[in-house]
Amino acid sequence: MSTPIIGIDLGTTNSVVSICDQRGTTRVLADREGLKVQPSVVAFPPNGKVLVGTPAKQRKVIDPQNTVYSVKRLMGRTIRSPEVALLRERMSYRIAGGNNEQPIIKTRAGDFAPGDISAIILDHMRDIAQDQLGDVGELDRAVVTVPANFNEAQRGATATAGAVAGITVVRVLNEPTAAALAYGQKKRLNGLIAVYDFGGGTFDISLLKLSEEVFEVVGTAGDSMLGGDDFDERLVEDMAAQFLQQHRFDLRTDPQAMMRLRGLAEHIKIELSRRMTTKVHVDELAYGDGGKALGLDVEMTRQQFTDKTRDLVDRSFPVCEEALKLAGVQMSDITDVVLVGGTTRIPYVQEQVARFFRQKPRTDLNPEEAVAVGAALQGEQLRSVLDGSVTVPSARAVGAATQDDTLASDTVPGTTVRQPPATPPPIPNARTTMRGTGMRPNTDDAPTVDRPTVDRPTLGRIPVQKIPAKMTIQEKTREGAIKDRVSGPEASTLIAGDLPLPGPPDTTRRGEPISSAAITSPIPAVHDITPHSLGIATVGGYCEHLVSRNSRLPLSKERIFTSARDGQVQIRIRICQGESRRLMDNTIIGDLVLSGLPIRDRGQARITVTFSINESGILRVSARDAQTGQEQRAEVSVLGAQTPEQIAVARQRMGQLRG
């Protein structure tokens, strides 16, 4: 019997780990204190140790500069992104710029990439599972969940975090899809369901067609900067303004006081989801003239809380409309609405979901546990496939016409730091564990891009610079085929105050726990889709799409590139994600670099490049000489990604911190 593949819900605010055994029984695993929901918080106290989970969260007030939380919002982003700029103002810990535009978290223990912090959390969750399951062998494989709206860089950063933790991430699974697996297996849902996933840091909506053997995602959309943290911050701003008015003291200049307000805000939010009013007094937030202690009295009703945060809830529904449009379905087609994530415990959220979807949402299972359980179910299916004991129902293969495309290019300026390799060096087996106290048609045809200049546009630099290059684009596609047997892991393999801080959410209030759910039927196969379009930059500041949003995974596309000048040995192409034809409106994720080209005359070197997106939604690129069939070197340099050298250093430091 092979070791289990655990399921980890790596959340912005909290994380959960689950297991599914060969008998089909799932269990959400608790630590030695009986806590199943672990705060996604890492602290670096002066004694040189590292704290994770509840002990770390308890240090948010006393040591805010060295306690890292909500790091998921930094994953896969660059230091120049507007989201990171907002977080730099909001977070109590320091965020600075590093190599390759990567945000770096500065602590007394040193500098950490966001993925390094996530790796510590993943390692902690794995330790909980190892401690609870006992002698089942080394738990070094996991299915890790991410928001459905996560892009290529964010998914890659999550897989890299697993590598740093010594975990092979066999699948990066979308959170709404995982929740659908959990609900579908427990309640045998069929038809078209909407998974409304409102967590601590992100919001996602996914539409899935459910049948006995296959769960097919037909539409998804999301907002990666909308979550429960934003509700807390709204209350924090309000309380800071109240304190300033009463005492003429600006708490925003005091990180410890602000962290106490954040703890208070979370407490108020949770309390007002249970009762209609709450009253709290906080002592010694600051000191006035003569050392007089200044406190704050807060009394709030549920209606006042709703009025202060109504716009945050309402922001989720245009996203829902977008998903419906992408899927090509009507509201009347939806048979069930499933709530996932702690923010869905807020009564106003439940009311507005019922109003929008014109039906009462399901609240019969625990929203904090569903994603981890679905990840564990997917893990057991993948374990069975990898062991050769079962096969996965295959999706309908989509035929593709064979075409030829030619692209001549000099260079497109971009980053020079390489992406972590598709298969980093294997993780050593030995490790020391520290125990913690009407659906959219399936098509991948990209929309035709009207060229702004000539019929054979050049692939060029960002506007202002000119490149003597030309391009004729045609394509050969292969999409939708899922192998009956998986030959190996996915490509993600290794690459203190008077008011106590709120504890983990009360997981017994709504819905039955999913702690021990017996599965009596085969685990369905999951067919997911791409959340974003993928394209390459063309001259004039335009984007030529290679992969359309909502395309079924896995998929691959081929392009043939050729040299623009005699003796050219390298081609560089900028890659972007987004739906706009204008490059500046999309997200630049990095550069594709083709090097070691055969020395030939201009236009004679023809290199076939295959862009593949696997079931985890992670891009991989390969290249070969179209004339000789020999493999060519192709690398994607992702902005903000860790280099192989940085990954190796992070893995070594992980052993020192957690060993």
Query: Which H, E and C letters describe 485-521, residue by residue?
Result: CCCCCCCCCCCCCCCCCCCCCCCCCCCECCCCEECCC
* pLDDT (0 to 100) of residue 465: 31
| Residues 154 and 118: beta-carbon distance below 8 Å | no
Q: What is the mean pLDDT of residues 116-135?
A: 95
Q: What is the mean pLDDT of residues 571-593?
A: 88
Q: d(Cα 258, Cα 249) in Å, to the nearest integer?
A: 12
Q: What is the mean pLDDT of residues 430-455?
A: 34
* pLDDT (0 to 100) of residue 243: 97
297 and 436 in one domain?
Answer: no
Which of 233-242, 553-562, 598-607 holds the top average pLDDT?
Answer: 233-242
Lookup: tokens for 229:
């943290």
580 and 471 in one domain?
Answer: yes
Q: What is the mean pLDDT of residues 270-275?
A: 97
User: For the domain that residue 541 is a member of, what is the CATH number?
Assistant: 2.60.34.10
| Residues 541 and 463: beta-carbon distance below 8 Å | yes
Lookup: tokens for 399:
């035929």
For the chain, give the mean pLDDT. Answer: 80
Q: What's the angle, vertex CA 587, arms to CA 207 and CA 443, rounded to 5? A: 40
* pLDDT (0 to 100) of residue 139: 95
pLDDT of 381 > 50? The answer is yes
Q: What percent of the chain has pLDDT over 90?
A: 55
Q: d(Cα 151, Cα 531) in Å, to the nearest integer?
A: 7
Q: d(Cα 524, Cα 216) in Å, to the nearest integer?
A: 10
Q: d(Cα 455, Cα 465) in Å, to the nearest integer?
A: 20
- As beta bridge partners, residue 25 has 518
Of 88 and 424, which is predicted with more confidence? 88
Q: Tell me the per-residue pLDDT of 316-330, one tens digit each, with 9 for 90 and over.
A: 999 999 999 999 999
The count of residues in the chain is 659
**Which of 226-235, 356-365, 420-429 has the lowest average pLDDT?**
420-429
CA distance readout (Å), 241 to 235, 247, 282, 321: 10, 10, 15, 35
pLDDT of 116 > 70? The answer is yes
Of 624 and 481, which is predicted with more confidence? 624
Range of the domain at 430: 406-483+530-643
* Helix H or strand E encompassing 237: helix 228-247
461 found inside a domain = yes
* pLDDT (0 to 100) of residue 507: 40
* H helix count then E strand count, the chain: 12, 31
Q: d(Cα 200, Cα 341) in Å, to the nearest integer?
A: 7
Q: What is the mean pLDDT of residues 644-655?
A: 83
| Strand 570-577 to 534-538 pairing | antiparallel
Of 389 and 111, which is predicted with more confidence? 111
Q: d(Cα 206, Cα 193) in Å, to the nearest integer?
A: 8
Q: Which residues have a Cβ under 8 Å from the Cβ of 83 and sit 6 or more positions away?
A: 73, 77, 224, 225
265 found inside a domain = yes
| Residues 273 and 347: beta-carbon distance below 8 Å | yes
* pLDDT (0 to 100) of residue 463: 31
| Residues 219 and 323: beta-carbon distance below 8 Å | yes
* pLDDT (0 to 100) of residue 404: 35
Q: d(Cα 382, Cα 380) in Å, to the nearest integer?
A: 5
581 and 432 in one domain?
Answer: yes
Of 312, 332, 360, the position where a domain reaches its end is 312
Of 312, 329, 353, the position where a domain reaches its end is 312
Q: Where does residue 396 rank: exposed (0-12), middle (13-18), buried (19+ CB within 10 A)? A: exposed
pLDDT of 111 > 90? The answer is yes
- Do you find a cis peptide bond into 82, omega within 30 degrees of 0? no
Q: Tell me the per-residue pLDDT of 412-425, one tens digit each, with 9 for 90 and over.
A: 333 223 333 333 33
SS3 443: coil
Q: d(Cα 525, Cα 70) in Å, to the nearest integer?
A: 31
Q: d(Cα 532, Cα 77) in Å, to the nearest integer?
A: 16
**Following DSSP, what letter does each residue of 142-202 receive, concatenated?**
EEEEE-TT--HHHHHHHHHHHHHTT-EEEEEEEHHHHHHHHHHHHH---EEEEEEEE-SS-
Which of 93-107, 180-194, 539-553 holds the top average pLDDT?
Answer: 93-107
421 and 277 in one domain?
Answer: no
pLDDT of 438 > 70? The answer is no
The packing angle between helices 302-314 and 347-357, to 10°, is 50
Q: Tell me the per-residue pLDDT of 32-63, one tens digit each, with 9 for 90 and over.
A: 999 999 999 999 999 989 999 999 999 999 99
* pLDDT (0 to 100) of residue 388: 65
Q: How confident is the model at residue 389 (pLDDT cuts 50, 70, 90)?
A: low
**Which of 180-184, 211-215, 481-485, 552-556 has the lowest average pLDDT?**
481-485
pLDDT of 652 > 70? The answer is yes
Radius of gyration of the chain (CA): 25
Q: Tell me the per-residue pLDDT of 290-349, one tens digit each, with 9 for 90 and over.
A: 889 999 999 999 999 999 999 999 999 999 999 999 999 999 999 999 999 999 999 999
Q: d(Cα 54, Cα 14) in Å, to the nearest integer?
A: 10
31 found inside a domain = no
472 found inside a domain = yes
* pLDDT (0 to 100) of residue 1: 59
Q: d(Cα 359, Cα 369) in Å, to the nearest integer?
A: 23
547 found inside a domain = yes
Q: What percent of the chain has pLDDT over 70?
A: 79
| Residues 378 and 141: beta-carbon distance below 8 Å | no
Q: d(Cα 142, Cα 139) in Å, to the nearest integer?
A: 8
447 found inside a domain = yes
* pLDDT (0 to 100) of residue 485: 28
**Which of 87-101, 420-434, 513-527, 596-610 has the lowest average pLDDT?**
420-434
CA dihedral 386→392→395→399, nearest 10 degrees, is 50
Q: How confident is the model at residue 649 (pLDDT cuts 50, 70, 90)?
A: confident
Into how many domains does the chain fold?
A: 2
* pLDDT (0 to 100) of residue 563: 80
**Residue labelled with tokens 């500098």:** 111
Q: What is the mean pLDDT of residues 60-84?
A: 95
498 found inside a domain = no
Helix/strand/coil percentages in the chain, nearest 5? 30, 30, 45
pLDDT of 592 > 50? The answer is yes
pLDDT of 476 > 60? The answer is no
| Residues 155 and 76: beta-carbon distance below 8 Å | yes
Q: Tell me the per-residue pLDDT of 144-167, one tens digit each, with 9 for 90 and over.
A: 999 999 998 999 999 999 999 999
Which of 435-449, 456-470, 558-572 holds the top average pLDDT?
Answer: 558-572
**Which of 362-376, 481-495, 571-585 has the lowest average pLDDT?**
481-495
* pLDDT (0 to 100) of residue 401: 31
Of 231 and 558, which is predicted with more confidence? 231
Q: How confident is the model at residue 594 (pLDDT cuts 50, 70, 90)?
A: confident
Q: d(Cα 480, Cα 302) in Å, to the nearest integer?
A: 48
304 and 439 in one domain?
Answer: no
* pLDDT (0 to 100) of residue 9: 98
**Which of 128-132, 445-449, 549-553 has the lowest average pLDDT?**
445-449
Residue 306, Cβ neighbours under 10 Å: how many? Answer: 17
Of 211 and 271, which is predicted with more confidence? 271
Q: d(Cα 317, Cα 520) in Å, to the nearest integer?
A: 36
308 and 431 in one domain?
Answer: no
User: For the domain that residue 296 is a member of, what is the CATH number?
Assistant: 3.90.640.10
* pLDDT (0 to 100) of residue 13: 96
16 found inside a domain = no
Q: d(Cα 488, Cα 485) in Å, to the nearest integer?
A: 9
* pLDDT (0 to 100) of residue 323: 96
Q: d(Cα 21, Cα 40) in Å, to the nearest integer?
A: 26
Of 154 and 190, which is predicted with more confidence? 154
Of 269, 288, 312, the position where a domain reaches its end is 312
